[in-house]
Amino acid sequence: MSINNQFRLDGKVAVVTGGGRGIGRGIALAFAECGADVAVIARRQEDLDRVVEEIESKGQNGLAISADVMDFNSIPKALDKVCEEMGHLDIMVNNAGGNLDRKMYSLPEISIEKFDEQLTLNMKTKWWGSQQAAKRMTEGGRIINIISVAAHRASPGFGVYSAANLGMISMTRTFAVELANKKITVNCISPGVILTDMLKETLNLTDKQAHLTFDKTIPLGRIGKPEDCATAAVFFASPGAGWISGQYIDISGGPEGFTLNT
């Protein structure tokens, strides 16, 4: 196989949770550009329909499945539908996560209910998605967990989110060993500050305010885009990453603490 073909996804079927907007949408469209058929799962049907139109405009098959990953009956049903309508399952991206109410909670004040909600959304759903996808991958596969650089940083206001993401690194490594005999690789992508609707809604920022707030704090000089994460997802999903498993990569514009002398 030529080096160019090492990064094609022709003939593959991918699923992206949280695929209606932001990072999930970016990954879904990148997969389609590289030749994969893509099913997107999210709660908002109108967002899904728009993404499927974009997937199909790239010459690939798209499938919109309206489902909530917090409903643990929904993912098995959704993956069964993917296998029935698209033939098989090769790539699973557990992207859905974040904070449902777009609010920050300090650890000294967070309620037990919000603690459980954050842990469930950002770790339990990704464990469940990984387990259920692996059961349906009959000829090897790729599982990619989208987490956050918050996994290895103090994150005031996002302490449970941070802990859940760190837990996903550990879980990903264990999955990588336990699924290796099925030729399934499992890896993490850890985005830094990415300009998405969720970021703007959580911090109550406009696009311009987000740039003014974050561009100067990032070594490479700009806030991230969903496409920055999508390139890493294509890599982990591709034949070129077939001997890489149990790893995570930060997509953050440069390491924390790096400064420029200007």
Instruction: Name the residues annotated as catalytic.
Output: 161
Cβ pair 203, 157 in contact under 8 A: no
- Using DSSP bridges, classify how beta strands 248-251 and 141-146 pair: parallel, antiparallel or unpaired: unpaired
Rounded CA Rg of the chain: 18
Distance CA 47, CA 111 (A): 31
Residue 62, C-beta contacts closer than 8 angstroms, at least 6 positions apart: 32, 37, 38, 39, 40, 51, 52, 53, 54, 55, 56
The tokens for 26 are 């970016």
Handedness of CA 21, 233, 79, 12 (dihedral sign): positive
CA distance 189 to 236: 9
Cβ neighbours of 261 (radius 10 Å): 3
Give, in order, the Cα–Cα distances in Å from 113 to each of 117, 213, 218.
Answer: 6, 31, 34
